[in-house]
Amino acid sequence: MAESEHTPTGVPHELPTEPTQASRFGKARSAQSGALLEDYVELIADLIADGGEARPTDIARRLGVSHATAIKTIGRLKREGLAVAKPYRGVFLTETGERLADRVRARHRLVVDLLIAVGVPSESAEQDAEGIEHHVSDTTLAAFSAFLGRR
């Protein structure tokens, strides 16, 4: 047991087994891979709802990435069946992409609401939720929802 391994109460705990720890890290890597696509579909849905279209230039600016990076990721969204792009018109979500955007948006809102409920300022909650929302399990989200009194 490592000396620095402690619970929040300061009581030392044991290092998890190798398979358990590998599984945890694998889940985190998988979440990181999907987080990028989730951010894109959520933003595309928001841009379409706000202005009727999601242009690659707007996507790149709002995500703080280069136009080339946005185009590359939009290509990945297309290959994954989450989006279609029309020449000179922009990017649109498929039904699968829209369902994913809805799930991501709901998950984001739940994480933000929980963070605010425990005293995190609104802007910090929004920023922190951008990372947390991609890594929490359905079990944890259900606990967040129960804590907030939602059904």
The verdict on residue 95 lying in a domain is: yes
In the predicted model, what is the mean pLDDT of the chain? 87
State how beta strands 90-93 and 83-86 pair. antiparallel
| Distance from C-alpha of 30 to C-alpha of 123, rounded to nearest angstrom | 27
Q: Is residue 32 part of a domain?
A: yes
Kindly report, residue by residue over 66-102, the tens digit of the pLDDT.
Answer: 999 999 999 999 999 999 987 788 999 999 999 999 9
Q: How far apart are CA 90 and CA 53, in angstroms?
A: 6
The answer to whether residue 66 is domain-embedded is yes
Number of domains in the chain: 1
Residue 85 within any structural domain of the chain = yes
Decide if 20 is inside a domain: no
| Parent domain of 72 | 25-147
Per the rule left: phi > 0, alpha: psi between -120 and 50, beta: everything else, 77 is alpha
- Give domain status of residue 2, yes or no: no
Give the pLDDT band (50/70/90) at residue 7.
low
- Tell me the three state secondary structure of residue 22: helix
Q: Would 14 be classed as within a structural domain?
A: no
Task: Give whole-number Cα distances, 83 to 10, 45, 74, 105, 141, in Å.
Answer: 48, 10, 7, 17, 26
Number of Cβ within a 10 Å radius of residue 134: 22
CATH number at residue 87: 1.10.10.10
